[in-house]
């Protein structure tokens, strides 16, 4: 069953005064329940600073609208036993993570937990590719018919204009992905939200409480290419034509390999998953694994060539992160992608490169929580956020 409910546009406010619009208080209460789960009305009032009567009215509205539900009852030494609140686990979002050769479709709950997912190989024919994704989404919805879907979030490996009228920059994508939105809406009847994968993951980092929403951060998505999303001053930075953050196409080797963007020696030609596979082939003098996941597994099993390829890729990744640190001086850089499944293999070389940064204090570099599925979790933030994906929630202090 499709919904067209009131959505949430979170801000960085920690609390709200009597003159603050009721909507801000509503957003704050919902966000606290989402972050903490199994939290009482009294706890919400204490954390937010709102009056208990205000919290109770908002909670009743959220229950009536089926955003949240009452759960277990707590125990206290004396007095009234509190009833804990949690998100309505019957509500869900369809997540679509687009890659040039394959796409992952999944069901995620409002807390970002992945309930089910399927990998969809994409045929070369663009029309068939869109049909394959649409069919996979419909099958997933049918298999989870007990859920009430609020929309579909799609993360793209490319830049679009804000109106999603055209792809502005997508060197690794060779099919008309934007037509996926209209096809998906017609096939499912659900609202569809799309954005660049790095931007979506930056929003997700703040939405799901891994970052506090008050400090600048950069998300680096390491995949077939490299994309970055910049969150600063409480907003996503898009730049002219939405092109802010294309560090993956900054030239780092003037005489390097040809990049999909038409230049030579871009950062992504040295530090992407494709680069890691190429390094293995050059070092081992044999055919590279079919997927980057296999390369990581080989490295974890002690394969000398795989480990050497990972180390070379890690140094290249670290040099690019040092460039971002010097240019933007963020509080933290969050890495997303398959590299996070074995971050301990990448981290030493990345940190060694970062320590050579003499222009600015090195930011914290960390993998995203469940970084290999962060692109899927970002779909929830895309669907739940109201209007243009610009403002993000803060993480209330306990």
Q: What is the pLDDT along the chain (398 residues), one digit of tens a residue?
A: 444 455 655 434 344 444 345 777 887 888 888 888 888 998 999 988 889 999 999 999 999 988 888 876 756 555 567 789 998 988 999 999 988 778 899 999 988 889 999 999 888 777 788 889 999 999 999 999 999 999 999 988 766 655 555 555 555 566 566 677 888 999 999 999 888 888 888 888 877 765 656 678 999 999 988 989 998 887 888 877 677 878 999 999 999 999 988 899 999 999 999 999 999 999 999 999 989 999 999 999 999 999 999 999 999 999 999 999 999 999 999 999 999 999 999 999 999 999 887 666 788 999 987 777 888 988 888 888 754 333 333 333 32
239 near 198, Cβ under 8 Å?
Answer: no
Q: Do the domains 91-201 and 22-87 match in fold?
A: no
Q: CA-CA distances (angstroms) from residue 125 to 103, 130, 131, 157? A: 14, 9, 10, 18
Q: Which of 136, 95, 131 is nearest to 112 (CA)?
A: 95
DSSP classification of residue 67 = S
What pLDDT, on a 0 to 100 scale, did the predictor assign at position 387?
40
Please spell the DSSP secondary structure of 167-218, one letter per residue: EEE-TT--S-TTHHHHHHHHHH---EEEEEHHHHHHHHHHHTTSS-SSS-EE
Q: What is the pLDDT of residues 58-112, one digit of tens each?
A: 999 999 988 888 876 756 555 567 789 998 988 999 999 988 778 899 999 988 8
Direct distance between the N- and C-terminal alpha carbons of the chain, in angstroms, rounded to an integer: 36
When the candidates are 2.40.10.10, 3.30.300.30, 3.30.450.40, 3.30.420.40, the CATH number that belongs to 214-367 is: 3.30.420.40
Q: Which of 60, 16, 32, 336 is nearest to 199 (CA)?
A: 336
What pLDDT, on a 0 to 100 scale, did the predictor assign at position 253?
94
27 near 10, Cβ under 8 Å?
Answer: yes
217 near 207, Cβ under 8 Å?
Answer: no
pTM here is 0.79
Q: CA-CA distances (angstroms) from residue 291 to 245, 296, 297, 322? A: 26, 9, 10, 27
Sheet with 102-109: list strands edge to edge.
114-121, 102-109, 91-98, 148-156, 192-196
Helix-, strand-, coil-residue percentages of the chain, each rounded to 5: 40, 20, 35
What pLDDT, on a 0 to 100 scale, did the predictor assign at position 157?
79
Q: How many residues does the chain have?
A: 398
What pLDDT, on a 0 to 100 scale, did the predictor assign at position 15?
43
What pLDDT, on a 0 to 100 scale, did the predictor assign at position 302?
97
Rounded to 5 degrees, φ, ψ at 271 are -130, 5
Which positions ≥6 away from 212 have C-beta within 8 Å? 206, 394, 395
**What's the CATH fold of domain 91-201?**
Nucleotidyltransferase; domain 5 (3.30.420)
Number of H helices, E strands in the chain: 12, 14
Rounded to 5 degrees, φ, ψ at 41 are -60, -40
151 phi-psi bin (left φ>0, alpha ψ -120 to 50, beta other) = left
The domain spans of the chain are: 22-87, 91-201, 214-367
What pLDDT, on a 0 to 100 scale, did the predictor assign at position 278?
97
DSSP classification of residue 137 = H
Report how far residue 111's alpha carbon sits from residue 37's, in angstroms, rounded to the nearest whole number.
9
29 phi-psi bin (left φ>0, alpha ψ -120 to 50, beta other) = alpha
Q: Does the 22-87 domain belong in CATH 3.30.70.920? A: no
- Cα 16–17–20 angle (5° rounding)? 75
Q: CA-CA distances (angstroms) from residue 245 to 158, 199, 222, 292, 329? A: 11, 9, 13, 24, 14
What pLDDT, on a 0 to 100 scale, did the predictor assign at position 80?
66
What pLDDT, on a 0 to 100 scale, did the predictor assign at position 393?
39
Helix/strand/coil for 8: strand
């Amino acid at each position: 069953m499709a919904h067209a409910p009131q959505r949430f546009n979170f801000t960085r406010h920690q609390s709200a005064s009597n003159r603050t619009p009721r909507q801000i208080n509503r957003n704050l209460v919902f966000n606290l329940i989402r972050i903490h789960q199994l939290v009482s009305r009294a706890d919400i009032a204490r954390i937010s600073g709102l009056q208990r009567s205000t919290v109770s009215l908002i909670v009743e509205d959220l229950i009536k609208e089926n955003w949240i539900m009452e759960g277990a009852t707590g125990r206290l030494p004396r007095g009234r036993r509190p009833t804990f609140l949690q998100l309505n686990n019957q509500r869900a979002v369809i997540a679509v993570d687009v890659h040039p050769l394959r796409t992952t479709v999944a069901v995620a709950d409002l807390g970002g937990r992945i309930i089910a997912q399927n990998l969809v190989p994409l045929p070369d024919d663009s029309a068939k590719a869109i049909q394959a994704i649409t069919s996979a989404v419909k099958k997933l919805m049918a298999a989870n018919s007990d859920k009430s879907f609020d929309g579909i979030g799609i993360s793209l490996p490319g830049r679009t204009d804000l109106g999603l009228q055209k792809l502005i920059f997508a060197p690794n994508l060779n099919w008309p992905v934007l037509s996926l939105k209209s096809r998906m809406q017609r096939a499912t009847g659900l609202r569809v939200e799309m954005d660049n994968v790095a931007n979506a993951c930056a929003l997700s980092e703040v939405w799901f409480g891994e970052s506090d929403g008050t400090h600048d951060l950069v998300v680096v998505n390491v995949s077939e290419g490299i994309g970055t999303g910049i969150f600063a001053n409480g907003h996503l930075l898009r730049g002219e034509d939405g092109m802010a953050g294309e560090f993956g196409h900054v030239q780092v080797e003037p005489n390097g390999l040809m990049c999909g963007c038409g230049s030579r020696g871009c950062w992504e030609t040295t530090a992407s998953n494709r680069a890691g596979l190429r390094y293995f082939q050059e070092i081992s003098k044999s055919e590279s694994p079919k997927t980057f996941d296999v390369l990581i597994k080989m490295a974890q099993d002690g394969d000398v060539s795989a480990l050497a390829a990972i180390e070379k890729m890690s140094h290249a990744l670290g040099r690019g992160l040092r460039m971002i640190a010097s240019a933007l001086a963020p509080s933290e850089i969050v890495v997303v992608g398959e590299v996070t499944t074995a971050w301990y293999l990448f981290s030493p070389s990345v940190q060694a490169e970062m320590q050579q940064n003499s222009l600015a204090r090195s930011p914290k570099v960390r993998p995203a929580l469940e970084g290999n599925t962060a692109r899927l979790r970002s779909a929830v933030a895309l669907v739940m956020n109201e209007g243009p994906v610009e403002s993000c929630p803060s993480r209330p202090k306990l």
